[in-house]
Amino acid sequence: MSSRRVRLGYKPTAAACTYTYETPNLWHIIPQSIPIALMQSQNNVAAYLEAPRASPLVVKTAPNPAPPSPTQVVIKAHSIAINPLDFIIQQTGMIVPEDAYPFILGNDIAGEVTAVGSRVDKVKPGDRVIACAENGCFQLLNTVDQSLLAVLPDNVTYTHGSVLPLALCTAAVMLFQDDTLALDLPKIDPVSNGKVVLAWGGGSALGSCGIQMLKAAGYEVAAVAGPRNLQYCRDLGADYVYDYRSTEVTNNIVAELKGKDFAGIFCPIMSADAISICTQIAAQLGDSQRNKVVATSLAHAMPYQGELPEGVKVTYCKFMLLIYSRLWLLTVYRLGR
């Protein structure tokens, strides 16, 4: 594929960093065909969700971005990733108010800087970057604040880089924010702190980012994944691995980790069953308010409904809230025009 084309690709499993067709839902989001001429255009082009639950998206010309403000950067997309949130929004009509349509989905972008604001000191035109776009990145030209991008090393392809931003940001919020697990921050040269964190769903995009950040922060990691991802979790640095499909998974985890300096549970998997098991494990391994905590990727607006064992707390992801609130602000802004 030409590097000048937008790739409306498929969310790879972070495990293999290759495209997967496992999630049939993804087929709904992708236009049947994307006119090549539009993709090679120097002007902007976007994939629009034209109405709630519309399928597929419609690719057509879009307004070019305004000149960047002092801290903004314009990026020409080379690769765009699809997250579960995108097809959840598309299929359910949730989150996006009716007045916000036609709407542009997407948060994960990898591409080339084409313009920078007057105070941008992190990148220059021509640099390869990845970014977490706040306002819908299923388009060729995206404007983001420089605080939400990172330079992409030469040895990482745009396709691989594009799957990182939202997963990395979400996992970081779950692990390090004061009102979530509040763990030690990652360092370039990690020093072991002797504590262990359980990462439930280590084979997922969020889970694989989480394992690597935990190791960089000096934690021991006990990862729970399906059989095909157990070795992958080890390769990422997990010290212990467990198959969540085993009927003995809870007993095995508790038996192996009991007595260790337990620092809490990171559970990006949005399944009530997975969260429920995690709360039971937290009750058995935790001994205080500090570590009887299960950090989820759920938003406050969609709280966990199950019963909690005594003393166990489930935390939510404010970054998601931030995204949702931005969507609402965007709507208010559009309505105000």
Ligand X SMILES: NC(=O)c1ccc[n+]([C@@H]2O[C@H](COP(=O)([O-])OP(=O)(O)OC[C@H]3O[C@@H](n4cnc5c(N)ncnc54)[C@H](OP(=O)(O)O)[C@@H]3O)[C@@H](O)[C@H]2O)c1
C-alpha 254/C-alpha 285 separation (Å) is: 7
Whose Cβ is closer to ligand X: residue 6's or residue 317's?
Answer: 317
Whose Cβ is closer to ligand X: residue 228's or residue 326's?
Answer: 228
- Whether 191 contacts 218, CB under 8 Å: yes
Per CB under 6 A, the segment of 65-73, 91-99, 222-230, 257-265 that binds ligand X is 222-230
- Whether 52 contacts 98, CB under 8 Å: yes
> Would you count residue 271 as binding ligand X (CB under 6 A)?
yes
CB of 120 to ligand X, least distance (A): 25
> Would you count residue 228 as binding ligand X (CB under 6 A)?
yes
Per CB under 6 A, the segment of 62-70, 81-89, 134-142, 252-260 that binds ligand X is 81-89
User: Comparing C-alpha atoms, which of 169, 176, 201, 165 is closest to residue 321?
Assistant: 169
> Would you count residue 166 as binding ligand X (CB under 6 A)?
yes
Whose Cβ is closer to ligand X: residue 48's or residue 200's?
Answer: 200
To 10 degrees, the CA torsion angle through 285, 210, 236, 269?
Answer: 70
> Would you count residue 9 as binding ligand X (CB under 6 A)?
no
Distances (CA, A) of 110 to 65, 114, 142, 267: 17, 13, 10, 27
Total chain residues near ligand X (CB under 6 A):
27
> Would you count residue 201 as binding ligand X (CB under 6 A)?
yes
User: Which of 14, 59, 77, 223 lies at the binding interface for ligand X (CB under 6 A)?
Assistant: 14
CB of 225 to ligand X, least distance (A): 4
User: Which of 47, 133, 175, 269 lies at the binding interface for ligand X (CB under 6 A)?
Assistant: 269
Residue 234: which H helix or E strand, with range?
Answer: helix 230-236
DSSP annotation of 59 reads E
- Closest CB to ligand X: residue number: 226
User: Which of 244, 262, 304, 316 lies at the binding interface for ligand X (CB under 6 A)?
Assistant: 244
Q: What is the 3-state secondary structure (H, E, C) of 99-163?
A: HHCCEECCCEEEEEEEEECCCCCCCCCCCEEEEECCCCCCECEEEEEHHHEEECCCCCCHHHHHC
- Whether 149 contacts 127, CB under 8 Å: no
Site string for ligand X, 303-322 (x = CB under 6 A): -----------------x--
255: exposed, middle or buried (Cβ count in 10 Å: 0-12, 13-18, 19+): exposed
93: left (phi over 0), alpha (psi -120 to 50) or beta: left
> Would you count residue 84 as binding ligand X (CB under 6 A)?
yes
User: Which of 57, 196, 225, 282 lies at the binding interface for ligand X (CB under 6 A)?
Assistant: 225
Whose Cβ is closer to ligand X: residue 103's or residue 244's?
Answer: 244
SS3 76: strand
Whose Cβ is closer to ligand X: residue 4's or residue 318's?
Answer: 318
Whose Cβ is closer to ligand X: residue 118's or residue 325's?
Answer: 325
Interior CA angle at 88 toward 83 and 91, to 5°?
130
Residue numbers at the binding site for ligand X (CB under 6 A)? 13-14, 83-85, 166-167, 170, 200-201, 203-206, 224-226, 228-229, 244, 268-271, 274, 297, 320
